[in-house]
């Protein structure tokens, strides 16, 4: 992590467009060069971010995902910006459209549901536990591959996820009404589950699907 002074920060953000902000200030900036600057602040005095800043987690997570052949943003630099009491991650965004933005495209909906099922199985089998997984941070690229964005809240482990972690992940994914309705489609989620099943090892398919199916009911 590189510390930068206020003049360097101002030069970096000159001509930037604010994509996201809250009452405490800017959160995500699209810079003049088309790249992104995501800013993080410590929300509590006693926080794990004091020892392992969220900006560094974001950067470390991109490396872990790349090692698993999962598409994600490309990190350029990680900054500490004392003048605004923020840490920042400077990166090239993953180009594409989020699954949530694609929900109105009914022509290719079933193909996307199946692909999404396979992609989530890939995450789970690769040991990726994305606690904040939702359709707004899964991106379909111009090459028709899926990848992840907004990945600070993510953990990678050496082994495939346990059944319980998978169930918690699916429960979070299905908590938004519109997302749930889209995922169910016209076949009560069969297309999505079949995509997930086919990406699992043979000996894991039946028991896992049996446990996941009630979540879609």
148 and 182 co-located in one domain: yes
- For residue 49, the model assigns a pLDDT of 54
User: How large a percentage of the chain has pLDDT more than 70?
Assistant: 95
pLDDT at 115 over 70: yes
Q: At CA 56, angle to CA 52 and CA 60, rounded to 5?
A: 110
134 and 162 co-located in one domain: yes
153 and 80 co-located in one domain: no
pLDDT at 188 over 80: yes
- For residue 193, the model assigns a pLDDT of 92
105 and 187 co-located in one domain: yes
Given 92, 120, 155, which residue is the final one in a domain? 92
Given 29, 59, 92, which residue is the final one in a domain? 92
Q: What is the C-alpha to C-alpha distance for residues 172 and 180, in angstroms, rounded to an integer?
A: 10
CATH number assigned to the domain comprising residue 114: 1.10.510.10
User: Which residues neighbour 205 within 8 Å (Cβ) at sequence distance 6 or greater?
Assistant: 197
63 and 139 co-located in one domain: no
Mean local confidence (pLDDT), 143-159: 93
Mean local confidence (pLDDT), 133-151: 95
User: How large a percentage of the chain has pLDDT more than 90?
Assistant: 71
User: pLDDT by residue (tens digit) across 36-53?
Assistant: 999 998 665 555 556 678
- For residue 106, the model assigns a pLDDT of 81
- For residue 132, the model assigns a pLDDT of 85
Mean local confidence (pLDDT), 76-92: 95
Instruction: Give 215's pLDDT tier (boundaries 50, 70, 90).
Output: confident
133 and 193 co-located in one domain: yes
**Domain of residue 116, residue span:** 97-216
CATH number assigned to the domain comprising residue 48: 3.30.200
Average pLDDT, the chain: 91
The position carrying tokens 């959160």 is 27
DSSP state at residue 2: E
138 and 87 co-located in one domain: no
Q: Among 144, 139, 213, which residue's Cα sits nearest to residue 183?
A: 213
- For residue 93, the model assigns a pLDDT of 96
121 and 199 co-located in one domain: yes
Beta bridge partners of 154: 130
User: pLDDT by residue (tens digit) across 57-78?
Assistant: 999 999 999 999 999 999 999 9
- For residue 130, the model assigns a pLDDT of 93
Instruction: Give 203's pLDDT tier (boundaries 50, 70, 90).
Output: confident
Given 56, 76, 92, which residue is the final one in a domain? 92
Burial degree of 39 (CB within 10 A; 0-12, 13-18, 19+) = buried
77 and 117 co-located in one domain: no
Strand pairing category for 74-81 and 2-3: parallel
108 and 206 co-located in one domain: yes
The position carrying tokens 């699209």 is 30
- For residue 98, the model assigns a pLDDT of 96
86 and 103 co-located in one domain: no
80 and 145 co-located in one domain: no
- For residue 47, the model assigns a pLDDT of 55
- Secondary structure class of 103 (helix, strand, coil): coil
- For residue 194, the model assigns a pLDDT of 93
Q: How many domains does the chain have?
A: 2
pLDDT at 125 over 80: yes
């Amino acid at each position: 992590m590189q510390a930068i002074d206020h003049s360097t920060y101002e030069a970096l953000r000159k001509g930037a467009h604010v994509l996201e902000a809250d009452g405490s200030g800017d959160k995500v900036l699209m810079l003049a060069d088309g790249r992104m600057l995501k800013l993080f602040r410590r929300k509590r005095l006693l926080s794990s971010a004091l020892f392992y800043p969220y900006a560094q987690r974001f950067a470390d997570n991109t490396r872990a995902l790349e090692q698993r052949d999962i598409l994600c943003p490309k990190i350029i630099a990680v900054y500490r910006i004392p003048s605004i009491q923020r840490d920042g991650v400077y990166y090239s965004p993953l180009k594409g459209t989020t699954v949530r933005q694609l929900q109105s495209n009914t022509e290719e909906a079933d193909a996307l549901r199946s692909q999404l099922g396979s992609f989530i199985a890939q995450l789970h089998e690769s040991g990726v536990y994305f606690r904040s997984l939702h359709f707004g941070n899964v991106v379909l690229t111009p090459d028709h591959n899926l990848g992840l964005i907004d990945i600070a809240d993510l953990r990678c482990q050496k082994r495939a996820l346990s059944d319980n972690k998978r169930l918690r992940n699916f429960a979070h994914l299905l908590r938004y009404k519109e997302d749930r309705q889209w995922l169910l489609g016209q076949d009560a989620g069969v297309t999505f589950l079949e995509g997930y099943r086919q990406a699992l090892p043979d000996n894991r398919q039946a028991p896992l699907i049996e446990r996941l199916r009630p979540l879609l009911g």
